[in-house]
Amino acid sequence: MEKQVTILYAGTRGFLDKYPVSVLTKYEAGLFAFIADRYPQIYTELADKKVINDELDKLMTDALNAFDEEFKDTIK
């Protein structure tokens, strides 16, 4: 559930808009590993609280921005 919420969050917040559909499978796999490695508290909070409060919203936005910086260089 945590991974599904994370990718849906990325999609509904516009993080996927800049990428072609052909790279979204790679994006999703990379994002899941990135969150698990660098922001595991996102998955923990989603599993425990089952709600995105203001604090988690900011953390998820920060994590997705950080991932975007790394991912965009892998598709050139």
- State the pLDDT at residue 70: 94
- State the pLDDT at residue 73: 87
**pTM given for the model:** 0.91
- State the pLDDT at residue 29: 97
For 34-51, b/e burial (b = at least 16 CB within 10 A) is bbeeebeebbebbeeeee
- State the pLDDT at residue 75: 85
Residues of the chain with pLDDT under 70: 76
- State the pLDDT at residue 76: 65
Smallest CA-to-CA distance from 63 within 24, 7, 19 is with: 7
